[in-house]
A and B are shown apart, each in its own frame.
Chain A
Amino acid sequence: MTATPSQRDYSLIGRDAKLAVETGLSAAEWYHTDIPRKQMKELMQRSDGPAIRDTAIWLTALILSAAGGAWFWGTWWCVPFFFVYGVLYGSSTDSRWHECGHGTAFRTQWMNDAVYQIACFMIMRNPVTWRWSHTRHHTDTIIVGRDPEISVMRPPDLLRVMLAFVGVLDAWHAMLDMVRNAAGIISPAEKTFIPEQEQPKAIRIARIWTAIYAATIVLALYSGSFLPMMLVGLPRLYGAWHHVMTGLLQHGGLADNVIDHRLNSRTVYMNPVSRFIYWNMNYHVEHHMFPMVPYHALPRLHELIKHDLPAPTPSILAGYREMIPAFLRQLRNEDYFLKRELPPTARPYREEFHNDAVAAAAE
């Protein structure tokens, strides 16, 4: 399922990285919908209330589902409990990591930091490395060679995409990175986005995590049971499917190397359960355009600026119905992408980023 070698060089220290800097694609000024300062201030306002409520629900559900899974361990009755626990552990931590990393979930910073550290451990993302990689993702969103968080590169490796739903490769690479960092090694790619003074913190965290996983494995061996690993570590695999399902929709099949989030990001209407797990990151164009707006205010932001955005994708299913054919076409022609149409009320794109040659590939 892997196509011919890519014309794109996704290495952070490669040809396209250098080119993006030279051409000004990197660290460019991105398109923003105009919003009066007064309204923007209201949208940006921080509050502890919504995130305390959601975190209390999340932690209570985590504890209850873990307790149920442990209680019924060895019987089929444990399956629904681990199904819930897995999603709360291996998927909802993706959005908690993300939102608390931005510092927007809570008004009180230590609360953001505490949930960030817990979520990072569960989703297996070094809190230092990923804070900086996500900073780069916002600076250079889906810019080839600059963005370290492009989940589906072109041409798409569909086997890798499918394996992501069960977290196999992600967890494997996370473990390798953790052990490498714990050994005191920061890779050349990591050095491109983690400042030197932050690198020792990444190493310290990796060492703590290595000790926790080692203790879990020792406990499993000592007790002769998989249960400790079902509670710590493995949920990142069996519960990953939801965050991959929602995460692929963020940018999948859309344009790369543009500086307008309306072109390379997707807003998708979702059911309330997925929005709780995902903390409203389905409003992804809005989030990228205004990362200062907390997750609980994104629906209001969406209502305010939707006249200037492409029509939202009406459902998760609709998103996959457009994205999967786009991935398949990219196997034959990696320049193919889904071109976004703007409503008549929108300010136009900078057309040079949807120029004739590239747009022709989308026909």
Chain B
Amino acid sequence: MANETLAGGAFRLRQADPATRRAALNQAIIYTVLIIGAAFAILPFLYTVSVSLMNLTEATGGRALPSTPQWTNYTEAWHDAQFSLYFMNSVKITLISVGGAVVFCALAAYAFAQMEFPGKSFLFTLLLSTLMLPEAITWVPNFITVSWLGRISPIPWINNWPSLTIPFMASAFGIFLLRQFFQQIPRELWDSAQIDGSGHLRYLITVVLPLSTAAVMTLVLFGFVGAWNALAWPILVTTSSDWRPISYGLLVFLDEAGALLHLQMAGAIITMLPIVVLYFFTQRHFIEGIATTGLKG
């Protein structure tokens, strides 16, 4: 019983005797809803997979399933799109920008959530306002910024890693997200940490961050997806293949494949696989919060 209580969650079902049958019914409802939802979520996706295994006639002929799966589509897409060339670039870009984002966003979010300083709400409003400008407007000023920074700093920014990573090392989204979670951490913890002689930074690293693993992992995940799928900005700030990401490879490939729908789909699936695998192996961390750390001890 106690174990179940611990493992359960949002609105758990009571396990009292008279309600056992109702619980079973509830379970059935939950599964039905989840399966229907999942069907909607992945049907378009299954279709993508299906098309990616067809030949040209089937892909453009509106068929639902391939007669014989053409696995060679994947090898063909991999070679044609030169994914191996862009894959490492994307990995590097993603690691740098996500790593930076976690550190900088966590620091700023902690200040907003747990510290007192004048201008807090003013700065936070300022932060939020940066989210409100349509992206189309930001490209030219941001290009100016990276170009100029490149010309006054020792390394060039254009067509190099700084322009692809540094702008994404802090975001209003990340700070806002982490702040929401940091703010929920009881003040008493800080008080006791202070008695233990802990400073803010130490408290952030040893208490706040472990308590917010779920939020941090969420930030990492979205940073990853964002960096992985970014397209317009990388094209603007790169001029050669040295730093172009995998999404550029996909775009070039989609263009070259043109009407070859099956190859397009295969290419799209190849590019998203790394993120799916990453999510699959880390997903349990996403709900690991206070529930598992047993702080009160």
- To the question of whether A and B form a pair in one complex, the answer is no
Residues of B whose CB lies within 8 Å of any CB of A are none
Residues of A whose CB lies within 8 Å of any CB of B are none
